[in-house]
Amino acid sequence: MRILGIHVGPHDSAACLFKDEEMLAFCKEERLTRIKNCGRKFKLLSIDEVLSIAGMSRMDVDAVALSRYHLPSVCFKSKDRPLVELSRRLRGRETNRKLFRVMKKLENFNEEEIVDKAAIRKFLKLRPDVDVHFANHHFSHVLGAFHYTDWDKDALFISCDGGGDFAYYSAYHYDGKELRNVLGGNLDSFRTPQNEGASIGLAYCSTTAFLGFMPNRHEGKVTGLAAFGEPVAADDILAMFEIKEDFRIESSINYSRSDLNASLAKIFDKHSKEDIASSIQHATESLVSTWVSKLLKTHPAKYIGMSGGVFSNVLLNQKIAELPKVEDTFVFPPMGDEGLPVGNCVSYLIEKNGLERLNRRKMRDVYLGRPYPPSSLIETAESKGLFVRKTANIAEDAASLLKQHYIGALFAERMEMGPRALGARSILANPSDREINDSINKRLGRTEFMPFAPYVLDIDAERIFDVPKHSVYPSRFMTITVNVKEEHRSVIPAVVHIDGTARPQIVYRGDNPIYYDILEAFKEATGIPCLVNTSFNAHEEPIINTPAEAVNALIHDRVDFLICDDALIFKTPEVAAKISAS
């Protein structure tokens, strides 16, 4: 059974491919279009990309699992917008409609009666017998975390984001047999929409815009900026929200994002940017952790799975993990909407085979992009006149340069799934100098406030960081902060936050040998047990995907050298000689 998962939303569209219960390939649309957070257009390049990675074509697909968001207008049975559609066609734009809004407008919650599935198959150039499945937004978020955990019972799965299918929060409890909905079920929010004004995700997003950053993109900058302020307005923000007995979160703001924005602007008046950032961060941590605590009182659980864009907030995730009696946590690595294609596929599997037959397992790695062998990077570099130094001691040679504070970029075969660079498209640097943050950000054109993240060998993680059992699994994917042990903070200042935390990636050699070996060699050469890992991309660019993009970054001095399994690559022999001799 080959299942194509698709999500086309206003941002972060993506596609994935499953064969039975194994994910073979994943691609976020922005990695191909090179448009950050690319969305809206249904003719996804990522569809053919994931099929090609698996050596398949559209004729090989047995089922397609979709979100209830943008769909081509020609696939709807109701044709009640002829003038709008004509106008868009004349302007050369795709004519899409949002399925969830059409369902609500018609008060008809049966997709079969609204969407022409044969038209979807035809539009996607699939076989006439292909199954077409529509998945609930928040259920898909939850299923991403559910599928990649092996907890046999006593688990709570939660999602929280800026909205989908008229919901902003959902919760499911797993008792070993049933994944029972507690809040935000499949059609509940269609019949009784959750309060938009009560969305802490939208509040954080609005605060991002209020601070002059780009919403749905720069929320991480707000998290970083928060460390420099005081939460002077946190109580005022929290006073807007109320957690009900049935776990709904309500607000004095009545179903209006514009009213939410106006109320926040009034609260933020005359406060500094740093204090505003600190206030929304603390309010988010307090509201969500209180909500989860209330859920746990009625639905006791030892394990918590998190998904949805709000859980891209690594400081919040630490607060959830530290709740009493929580033994383990997991944050689905593509926690935002880009992860929905994965949950869509799992939703189809459950509908087709039943929950009890779902073969759940822990996620080992996120390397699911197109494989580019080292030869492809080397050939591309040589075609641009760059200097390629082949060596049998890649890890030792790269570590020697990193020891001297040169900046390298690792280009491994398959790109990562999710927003974090995790050793396939990573910039590496020596963490012993706090100033390296400013130096790298200047070269990349970034304006960041949070220190970079470290990666650490599995054998060293608990020596350098306080890594409770509940943080080990999420730390594999850099989705949670932990405390840095006091004696090591001065050794790796470039990756330590003001509050003494860091968001490490714990690495295992079997997952990415070259990545592991470089750090092992660096530790042997310097005694320093971590390296900086930041994503290989310039400001406002998606993470690099292809060899050509990596080579161009070197040409434009974003980094000093490139690393692949077989070679180090420099701009010129002279640069290579200078760096090596220094």
Give the CATH number, domain containing residue 558: 3.90.870.20
288 and 372 housed in the same domain: no
Residue among 60, 36, 38 nearest 48 (CA): 60
**45, containing H or E segment:** helix 45-53
- pLDDT score, position 582: 62
Nearest-Å Rg of the Cα atoms of the chain is 24
User: Please, are residues 167 and 137 in contact by the beta-carbon 8 Å criterion?
Assistant: yes
Burial class of residue 48 in the structure, from the number of CB atoms within 10 Å of its CB (0-12 exposed, 13-18 middle, 19+ buried)? middle
User: Please, are residues 13 and 7 in contact by the beta-carbon 8 Å criterion?
Assistant: yes
**Ordered mean pLDDT values, 10 residues apiece, the chain (582 residues):** 97 97 98 95 96 98 97 83 53 78 93 94 97 98 98 98 97 97 94 94 97 94 95 97 96 83 94 98 98 98 98 98 97 98 98 97 97 97 96 95 96 96 98 93 87 96 97 98 98 96 97 98 98 95 97 97 96 83 66
- pLDDT score, position 384: 97
- pLDDT score, position 81: 55
191 and 271 housed in the same domain: yes
DSSP β-ladder status, 96-98 and 303-307: unpaired
Choosing from 117, 137, 157, the residue where a domain stops is: 137
Residue 336 placed within a domain: no
Residue 162 placed within a domain: yes
Choosing from 89, 110, 137, the residue where a domain stops is: 137
Strand partners, 567: 390
Place of tokens 């070996």: 517
Place of tokens 């703001």: 253
Handedness of CA 434, 365, 447, 578 (dihedral sign): positive
186 and 113 housed in the same domain: no
153 and 106 housed in the same domain: no
318 and 402 housed in the same domain: no
- Tally of CB atoms within 10 A around 123: 15
User: Please, are residues 315 and 191 in contact by the beta-carbon 8 Å criterion?
Assistant: no
Q: How far apart are the first and last CA of the chain?
A: 56
Cα gap 274→266, rounded to integer Å: 16
DSSP, collapsed to helix, strand or coil, labels residue 437 as: helix
- The CB-side HSE value for 568 (13 A sphere, CA atoms) comes to 28
Range of the domain at 386: 367-581
458 and 508 housed in the same domain: yes
Place of tokens 């580019």: 372
| DSSP designation for 76 | B
- pLDDT score, position 416: 97
What is the count of structural domains for the chain?
3
257 and 378 housed in the same domain: no
User: Please, are residues 315 and 339 in contact by the beta-carbon 8 Å criterion?
Assistant: no
Residue 142 placed within a domain: no
374 and 320 housed in the same domain: no
529 and 430 housed in the same domain: yes
Please give the torsion angle defined by the CA atoms of residues 414, 406, 375 and 371, in that order, rounded to the nearest 10 degrees. Answer: 0
Q: pTM of the predicted model, to two decimals?
A: 0.96
Query: CA-CA distances (angstroms) from residue 382 to 415, 551, 559?
Result: 22, 10, 17
Residue among 129, 165, 171, 148 nearest 26 (CA): 148
107 and 225 housed in the same domain: no
Q: What is the CATH number of the domain that holds 28?
A: 3.30.420
Strand partners, 460: none
Cα gap 396→403, rounded to integer Å: 10
- pLDDT score, position 79: 63
124 and 157 housed in the same domain: no
